[in-house]
Amino acid sequence: MKDTANAGKFQNPKVTADGQDRAHVALSDPQTLWFNTGTLCNITCANCYIESSPENDRLVYITKSEVEDYLDQLEDRKWGVREIAFTGGEPFMNPQMIEIARASLSRGYEVLILTNAMRPMMRQRVLDGLTALQADFGDKLTLRISLDHHDPACHDAERGAGAYEKTLHGMRWLRDAGVRMAVAGRSLWHETDLDAREGYAALFKAEGFDIDAQDPGICVLFPEMDETVEVPEITTACWGILDKQPTSVMCSSSRMVVKRRGAEKPAVLACTLLPYDAQFELGETLADAEGAVPLNHPHCAKFCVLGGASCSA
Protein backbone atom coordinates (compact mmCIF):
# COMPACT_ATOMS: atom_id res chain seq x y z
CA MET A 1 0.00 0.00 0.00
CA LYS A 2 1.35 3.41 -0.93
CA ASP A 3 1.91 5.69 2.04
CA THR A 4 -0.16 8.83 1.46
CA ALA A 5 -0.69 9.82 5.11
CA ASN A 6 2.71 11.50 5.33
CA ALA A 7 2.94 12.72 1.72
CA GLY A 8 5.36 15.62 1.46
CA LYS A 9 6.80 15.00 4.91
CA PHE A 10 10.14 13.49 5.92
CA GLN A 11 11.87 14.56 2.71
CA ASN A 12 14.55 17.05 3.70
CA PRO A 13 16.88 16.09 6.57
CA LYS A 14 17.32 19.77 7.50
CA VAL A 15 13.80 21.18 7.37
CA THR A 16 10.24 19.89 7.72
CA ALA A 17 7.57 20.12 5.04
CA ASP A 18 6.42 23.48 6.39
CA GLY A 19 9.94 24.92 6.47
CA GLN A 20 10.79 24.60 10.14
CA ASP A 21 14.16 23.39 11.39
CA ARG A 22 14.09 19.63 11.74
CA ALA A 23 15.17 18.18 15.08
CA HIS A 24 18.50 16.36 15.17
CA VAL A 25 19.81 14.11 17.92
CA ALA A 26 23.48 13.99 18.89
CA LEU A 27 25.21 10.84 20.12
CA SER A 28 25.57 12.27 23.61
CA ASP A 29 25.82 9.23 25.89
CA PRO A 30 26.47 5.96 24.01
CA GLN A 31 25.30 3.05 26.15
CA THR A 32 24.44 0.28 23.67
CA LEU A 33 26.09 -0.97 20.51
CA TRP A 34 23.68 -3.16 18.56
CA PHE A 35 24.58 -5.81 16.03
CA ASN A 36 22.11 -7.26 13.57
CA THR A 37 23.13 -10.89 13.37
CA GLY A 38 21.33 -11.40 10.03
CA THR A 39 17.72 -11.04 8.83
CA LEU A 40 17.07 -14.76 8.38
CA CYS A 41 14.47 -16.02 10.85
CA ASN A 42 12.76 -19.35 11.45
CA ILE A 43 9.31 -17.72 11.19
CA THR A 44 7.57 -14.90 9.33
CA CYS A 45 5.70 -12.48 11.60
CA ALA A 46 2.73 -10.42 10.44
CA ASN A 47 4.21 -7.08 11.49
CA CYS A 48 7.97 -7.54 11.49
CA TYR A 49 9.54 -4.10 11.06
CA ILE A 50 12.65 -5.62 9.49
CA GLU A 51 10.73 -8.13 7.32
CA SER A 52 12.67 -11.10 8.71
CA SER A 53 11.75 -14.50 7.34
CA PRO A 54 13.29 -17.84 6.31
CA GLU A 55 14.04 -16.23 2.92
CA ASN A 56 15.16 -12.68 3.74
CA ASP A 57 18.96 -12.49 3.77
CA ARG A 58 19.30 -8.80 2.91
CA LEU A 59 21.40 -8.57 6.06
CA VAL A 60 23.76 -11.54 6.23
CA TYR A 61 25.30 -13.27 9.24
CA ILE A 62 27.84 -11.09 10.98
CA THR A 63 30.94 -12.92 12.17
CA LYS A 64 32.80 -13.06 15.47
CA SER A 65 35.85 -11.36 13.94
CA GLU A 66 33.70 -8.52 12.58
CA VAL A 67 32.09 -8.01 15.98
CA GLU A 68 35.49 -8.05 17.66
CA ASP A 69 36.70 -5.34 15.29
CA TYR A 70 33.91 -3.04 16.52
CA LEU A 71 34.63 -3.95 20.14
CA ASP A 72 38.22 -2.81 19.47
CA GLN A 73 36.85 0.41 17.99
CA LEU A 74 34.74 0.97 21.11
CA GLU A 75 37.87 0.88 23.20
CA ASP A 76 39.73 3.16 20.81
CA ARG A 77 36.88 5.69 20.66
CA LYS A 78 36.24 5.50 24.44
CA TRP A 79 32.47 5.55 23.99
CA GLY A 80 31.85 4.14 27.46
CA VAL A 81 29.27 1.66 26.20
CA ARG A 82 27.67 -0.55 28.85
CA GLU A 83 25.84 -3.08 26.70
CA ILE A 84 26.36 -5.06 23.52
CA ALA A 85 23.01 -6.13 22.07
CA PHE A 86 22.04 -8.51 19.30
CA THR A 87 18.93 -8.59 17.16
CA GLY A 88 17.90 -10.25 13.91
CA GLY A 89 16.19 -12.00 12.29
CA GLU A 90 16.63 -14.70 14.88
CA PRO A 91 20.12 -14.33 16.39
CA PHE A 92 20.45 -18.02 17.21
CA MET A 93 20.28 -18.86 13.52
CA ASN A 94 23.73 -17.25 13.25
CA PRO A 95 26.12 -20.20 13.72
CA GLN A 96 28.60 -18.04 15.66
CA MET A 97 26.09 -16.47 18.09
CA ILE A 98 27.39 -18.22 21.21
CA GLU A 99 31.01 -17.40 20.35
CA ILE A 100 30.05 -13.79 19.57
CA ALA A 101 28.26 -13.44 22.91
CA ARG A 102 31.24 -14.90 24.76
CA ALA A 103 33.63 -12.50 23.03
CA SER A 104 31.48 -9.56 24.13
CA LEU A 105 30.98 -10.78 27.69
CA SER A 106 34.69 -11.48 28.04
CA ARG A 107 35.39 -7.79 27.43
CA GLY A 108 33.25 -6.91 30.45
CA TYR A 109 30.12 -5.79 28.62
CA GLU A 110 26.58 -6.74 29.48
CA VAL A 111 25.03 -8.70 26.62
CA LEU A 112 21.41 -8.59 25.47
CA ILE A 113 20.14 -11.09 22.89
CA LEU A 114 16.68 -10.72 21.34
CA THR A 115 15.16 -14.10 20.50
CA ASN A 116 11.85 -15.84 19.91
CA ALA A 117 13.16 -18.75 22.09
CA MET A 118 11.98 -21.26 19.51
CA ARG A 119 13.78 -24.02 17.61
CA PRO A 120 17.03 -22.18 16.71
CA MET A 121 17.66 -21.48 20.40
CA MET A 122 16.58 -24.96 21.46
CA ARG A 123 19.25 -26.83 19.50
CA GLN A 124 21.46 -28.76 21.91
CA ARG A 125 24.64 -26.97 20.84
CA VAL A 126 23.03 -23.61 21.62
CA LEU A 127 21.59 -24.81 24.94
CA ASP A 128 25.01 -26.09 25.96
CA GLY A 129 26.51 -22.74 24.99
CA LEU A 130 23.93 -20.76 26.97
CA THR A 131 24.48 -22.99 29.99
CA ALA A 132 28.21 -22.28 29.84
CA LEU A 133 27.70 -18.54 29.37
CA GLN A 134 25.35 -18.37 32.33
CA ALA A 135 27.83 -20.29 34.48
CA ASP A 136 30.70 -18.00 33.51
CA PHE A 137 28.95 -14.62 33.39
CA GLY A 138 25.66 -14.93 35.30
CA ASP A 139 23.30 -11.99 34.98
CA LYS A 140 25.65 -10.13 32.65
CA LEU A 141 23.73 -12.09 29.97
CA THR A 142 20.05 -11.35 29.31
CA LEU A 143 17.78 -12.90 26.72
CA ARG A 144 14.84 -10.71 25.74
CA ILE A 145 12.05 -12.97 24.54
CA SER A 146 9.62 -11.82 21.86
CA LEU A 147 6.26 -12.57 23.47
CA ASP A 148 3.89 -10.32 21.58
CA HIS A 149 1.03 -10.75 24.03
CA HIS A 150 0.19 -12.61 27.20
CA ASP A 151 -2.78 -14.17 25.41
CA PRO A 152 -1.88 -17.12 23.14
CA ALA A 153 -4.38 -16.17 20.43
CA CYS A 154 -2.97 -12.65 20.06
CA HIS A 155 0.63 -13.87 20.02
CA ASP A 156 -0.13 -16.58 17.46
CA ALA A 157 -1.99 -14.09 15.26
CA GLU A 158 1.37 -12.36 14.80
CA ARG A 159 3.70 -15.37 14.70
CA GLY A 160 1.70 -18.36 13.53
CA ALA A 161 -0.33 -21.15 15.08
CA GLY A 162 1.46 -22.84 17.96
CA ALA A 163 4.17 -20.19 18.27
CA TYR A 164 3.10 -19.15 21.78
CA GLU A 165 3.55 -22.60 23.26
CA LYS A 166 6.89 -23.08 21.50
CA THR A 167 8.14 -19.80 22.94
CA LEU A 168 6.94 -20.68 26.43
CA HIS A 169 8.74 -24.03 26.10
CA GLY A 170 11.97 -22.14 25.46
CA MET A 171 11.31 -19.73 28.31
CA ARG A 172 10.77 -22.62 30.70
CA TRP A 173 14.15 -24.02 29.72
CA LEU A 174 15.77 -20.60 30.33
CA ARG A 175 14.01 -20.37 33.71
CA ASP A 176 15.30 -23.74 34.78
CA ALA A 177 18.81 -22.96 33.50
CA GLY A 178 18.90 -19.71 35.50
CA VAL A 179 19.36 -17.50 32.42
CA ARG A 180 18.15 -13.97 33.02
CA MET A 181 15.10 -13.10 30.90
CA ALA A 182 13.26 -10.00 29.77
CA VAL A 183 10.24 -9.80 27.46
CA ALA A 184 9.29 -7.68 24.46
CA GLY A 185 5.57 -7.31 23.75
CA ARG A 186 3.50 -5.14 21.46
CA SER A 187 0.83 -2.51 22.00
CA LEU A 188 -1.36 -3.66 19.12
CA TRP A 189 -4.50 -4.65 20.99
CA HIS A 190 -5.79 -1.27 22.20
CA GLU A 191 -5.47 -2.22 25.85
CA THR A 192 -4.06 0.11 28.45
CA ASP A 193 -0.49 -0.20 29.58
CA LEU A 194 -1.79 -1.18 33.02
CA ASP A 195 -3.98 -3.96 31.62
CA ALA A 196 -1.15 -5.31 29.47
CA ARG A 197 1.28 -5.40 32.38
CA GLU A 198 -1.24 -7.06 34.66
CA GLY A 199 -1.76 -9.74 32.01
CA TYR A 200 1.97 -10.34 31.68
CA ALA A 201 2.38 -10.33 35.46
CA ALA A 202 -0.22 -13.06 35.83
CA LEU A 203 1.51 -15.16 33.17
CA PHE A 204 4.97 -14.68 34.71
CA LYS A 205 3.66 -15.65 38.15
CA ALA A 206 1.91 -18.74 36.84
CA GLU A 207 5.05 -19.88 35.00
CA GLY A 208 7.51 -18.94 37.74
CA PHE A 209 9.37 -16.52 35.46
CA ASP A 210 11.53 -14.02 37.36
CA ILE A 211 10.47 -11.11 35.13
CA ASP A 212 9.12 -7.82 36.49
CA ALA A 213 6.11 -6.96 34.34
CA GLN A 214 5.95 -3.46 35.85
CA ASP A 215 9.48 -2.52 34.81
CA PRO A 216 9.35 -0.97 31.31
CA GLY A 217 13.01 -1.82 30.77
CA ILE A 218 12.39 -5.50 31.51
CA CYS A 219 8.90 -5.96 30.07
CA VAL A 220 9.14 -3.71 27.01
CA LEU A 221 5.87 -2.88 25.25
CA PHE A 222 6.59 -1.50 21.80
CA PRO A 223 4.09 0.79 20.07
CA GLU A 224 2.80 -0.20 16.66
CA MET A 225 5.02 0.94 13.80
CA ASP A 226 2.87 1.77 10.78
CA GLU A 227 4.27 4.13 8.17
CA THR A 228 0.79 4.64 6.70
CA VAL A 229 -0.40 6.42 9.86
CA GLU A 230 -0.01 10.19 9.81
CA VAL A 231 2.42 11.55 12.36
CA PRO A 232 3.80 15.06 12.88
CA GLU A 233 7.37 15.91 11.97
CA ILE A 234 9.62 16.72 14.91
CA THR A 235 11.04 20.24 14.86
CA THR A 236 13.58 21.84 17.16
CA ALA A 237 10.66 23.59 18.88
CA CYS A 238 9.03 20.27 19.72
CA TRP A 239 11.47 19.53 22.54
CA GLY A 240 10.06 22.41 24.56
CA ILE A 241 6.47 21.82 23.48
CA LEU A 242 6.62 18.14 24.43
CA ASP A 243 8.81 18.76 27.48
CA LYS A 244 11.29 16.16 26.23
CA GLN A 245 15.02 16.13 25.76
CA PRO A 246 16.97 14.79 22.76
CA THR A 247 18.76 12.53 25.23
CA SER A 248 15.51 10.55 25.65
CA VAL A 249 15.66 9.37 22.03
CA MET A 250 17.34 6.07 21.18
CA CYS A 251 19.87 7.47 18.70
CA SER A 252 21.40 9.60 21.45
CA SER A 253 22.65 6.47 23.17
CA SER A 254 23.03 3.70 20.57
CA ARG A 255 24.14 2.67 17.09
CA MET A 256 23.68 -0.58 15.14
CA VAL A 257 26.12 -2.55 12.97
CA VAL A 258 24.81 -4.56 10.00
CA LYS A 259 26.36 -6.60 7.20
CA ARG A 260 24.52 -6.14 3.89
CA ARG A 261 24.37 -8.96 1.40
CA GLY A 262 27.21 -8.47 -1.09
CA ALA A 263 28.98 -5.82 1.01
CA GLU A 264 32.68 -6.17 1.69
CA LYS A 265 32.41 -4.73 5.19
CA PRO A 266 29.71 -4.07 7.77
CA ALA A 267 28.15 -0.63 8.14
CA VAL A 268 27.01 1.41 11.12
CA LEU A 269 23.42 2.64 11.22
CA ALA A 270 21.77 5.31 13.33
CA CYS A 271 18.92 3.11 14.45
CA THR A 272 17.81 -0.48 14.91
CA LEU A 273 14.42 0.31 13.39
CA LEU A 274 15.59 1.59 10.00
CA PRO A 275 17.95 -1.00 8.54
CA TYR A 276 17.09 -0.38 4.89
CA ASP A 277 16.86 3.42 4.72
CA ALA A 278 20.09 4.68 3.15
CA GLN A 279 19.95 8.07 4.85
CA PHE A 280 20.47 6.40 8.23
CA GLU A 281 23.64 4.57 7.17
CA LEU A 282 26.49 6.54 8.72
CA GLY A 283 29.62 4.79 7.47
CA GLU A 284 31.76 1.72 8.07
CA THR A 285 33.36 2.77 11.36
CA LEU A 286 32.25 4.04 14.74
CA ALA A 287 34.16 7.23 14.06
CA ASP A 288 31.94 7.77 11.01
CA ALA A 289 28.86 7.28 13.17
CA GLU A 290 29.45 9.94 15.81
CA GLY A 291 27.50 12.71 14.09
CA ALA A 292 23.98 13.93 14.87
CA VAL A 293 21.00 12.12 13.34
CA PRO A 294 18.12 14.02 11.67
CA LEU A 295 14.70 12.77 12.77
CA ASN A 296 13.62 12.34 9.17
CA HIS A 297 11.35 9.29 9.30
CA PRO A 298 7.85 8.55 10.66
CA HIS A 299 9.33 5.99 13.07
CA CYS A 300 11.48 8.75 14.59
CA ALA A 301 8.33 10.67 15.45
CA LYS A 302 5.85 7.96 16.40
CA PHE A 303 8.09 5.33 17.92
CA CYS A 304 10.92 7.26 19.54
CA VAL A 305 9.71 10.79 20.32
CA LEU A 306 5.95 10.49 20.75
CA GLY A 307 5.86 6.81 21.73
CA GLY A 308 8.82 7.14 24.04
CA ALA A 309 10.05 3.65 23.23
CA SER A 310 13.58 2.34 23.11
CA CYS A 311 15.08 -0.99 22.10
CA SER A 312 17.50 -0.82 25.03
CA ALA A 313 16.58 -1.04 28.67
The most confident of the ranges 174-183, 225-234, 242-251 is 174-183
Q: Which domain holds residue 134?
A: 26-220+249-299
pLDDT at 1 over 50: no
Q: What is the pLDDT of residues 292-301, one digit of tens each?
A: 999 999 889 8
pLDDT at 237 over 90: yes
- Per-residue pLDDT at 304: 87
- How many domains is the chain built from? 1
pLDDT at 132 over 90: yes
Q: What is the pLDDT of residues 186-217, one digit of tens each?
A: 887 788 999 999 999 999 999 999 999 999 99
Q: Residue 117: how many CA atoms within 13 Å on its side-chain side?
A: 26
For residue 188, being part of any structural domain is answered with: yes
pLDDT at 23 over 90: yes
Q: The domain spanning residue 91 has which CATH number?
A: 3.20.20.70
For residue 161, being part of any structural domain is answered with: yes
For residue 257, being part of any structural domain is answered with: yes
- Per-residue pLDDT at 187: 82
Q: What is the pLDDT of residues 161-183, one digit of tens each?
A: 999 999 999 999 999 999 999 99
For residue 233, being part of any structural domain is answered with: no
For residue 312, being part of any structural domain is answered with: no
For residue 305, being part of any structural domain is answered with: no
Which band of pLDDT confidence, cut at 50, 70 and 90, is reported for residue 2? very low
For residue 311, being part of any structural domain is answered with: no
For residue 211, being part of any structural domain is answered with: yes
- Range scoring the smallest mean pLDDT among 74-78, 106-110, 307-311: 307-311
- Per-residue pLDDT at 47: 85
- Per-residue pLDDT at 222: 85
pLDDT at 279 over 60: yes
Which element (helix H / strand E) includes 173?
Answer: helix 163-177
What is the value of pTM for the model shown? 0.94
Q: What is the pLDDT of residues 76-85, one digit of tens each?
A: 999 999 999 9
Distance CA 225, CA 250 (A): 15
Q: Which of 83, 313, 87 is nearest to 216 (CA)?
A: 313
High-pLDDT (> 70) share of the chain, %? 95
Burial 263-288 (b: 16+ CB within 10 A, else e): eeebbbbbbbbbbeeeebbbeebbee
Contact 235, 21 (CB under 8 A): yes
Average the pLDDT over 131-141 and give the result: 98
Angle between helices 152-159 and 163-177 (to 10 degrees): 110
What value does the mean pLDDT of the chain take?
93
pLDDT at 281 over 60: yes
